[in-house]
Amino acid sequence: MMFAGIMLLAVLNLTAPESAVEVNGKIFVSDIGKFNENDGAILELKDGKWVPFASPLFDPKGITPYNDSVLLVADVDKVWDVSKGFVEMFIRTTDFPVTPKFLNDITMDAKGNIYISDTKLGVVFVADKRRRVKVLTKVNSPNGLAVAPNGDLYIVTFEKPGKVYVFRNGKLKLIYKSDDIAGGDGIAITKNGRYAYISGYMSGKIVRLNLKTKKAKVIAEGLKTPADISLSEDESFLLVPMLEAGKFKKIKVKSLSSKR
């Protein structure tokens, strides 16, 4: 593996980790288990080991904190609330305007709106605080989602080359595409809104994209199927689940919060 001056911490004992997030100092991973079987789970990292937090789930993918005290997970055709350590329905299949086929990533904005990608349907859904769901936009193979501090929604597509779109003021705009993010999967935006980290599931790379200049730099490569990445709460690490490898890595990155 080749990495640009970064430190790796490996944790094993996972089956198919898809998404990772840190909430109030705790790191959680969604583990799909075997596809199309009801053996998925949300796991918590404790003392270097993964322990069950909430299960059973079908094929859990994107996870996101919601309103500080709630942890949501997208799972095939519905959204669960797992914040209490057990599985509760949050958005039902029948709440969607069209039946979901492959719900993938999930994120929220400062107003409490929830965004959910459906990679097979080719749409991004949005749910308001009352959990009323509608189609926000259509795009081919949407995967990773992230909302910038100014409210812009960034969408990464699972294509070759991978693409990054921004959804702003009701319009979708392509801002970046590259084989470096082939099989675009996860995206994490810095708190200052200036940079995005994007993983390529097929390429095995992670790039850092300057959202103003649209220039990108590969900061890690040689990874096996890096999936839905996120930044640690202090932005010192990238949390990187590697789905087919059954592994998770913390990649140390330089803080960019104060950079212009």
Tens of each residue's pLDDT in the chain, 260 residues: 444 444 444 444 799 999 999 999 999 999 999 999 999 999 999 998 999 999 999 999 999 999 877 899 999 999 999 999 999 999 999 999 999 999 999 999 999 999 999 999 999 999 999 999 999 999 999 999 999 999 999 999 999 999 999 999 999 999 999 999 999 999 999 999 999 999 999 999 999 999 999 999 999 999 999 999 999 999 999 999 999 999 999 999 976 655 44
pTM of the prediction?
0.93
The full set of domains in the chain, from first to last, is 2-252 (2.120.10.30)
Residue among 260, 253, 246 at smallest CA distance from 11 = 246
What is the DSSP annotation of 14-71? -SSEEEEEEETTEEEEEE--STTSS-EEEEEEETTEEEEEEEEESSEEEEEEETTTEE
Residue of 65, 91, 70 lying closest to 80 (CA atoms): 91
- Per-residue confidence (pLDDT) for residue 41, from 0 to 100: 95
Q: Residue 41's closest CA among 70, 65, 18?
A: 18
- How is residue 191 written in tokens? 């708190």
Task: Write the CB contacts of 134 (distance below 8 Å, at least 6 apart in sequence).
Answer: 97, 125, 126
Question: What pLDDT does 18 receive?
Answer: 98
Distances in whole angstroms, Cα of residue 219 to Cα of each of 5, 185, 197, 242 = 8, 16, 9, 16
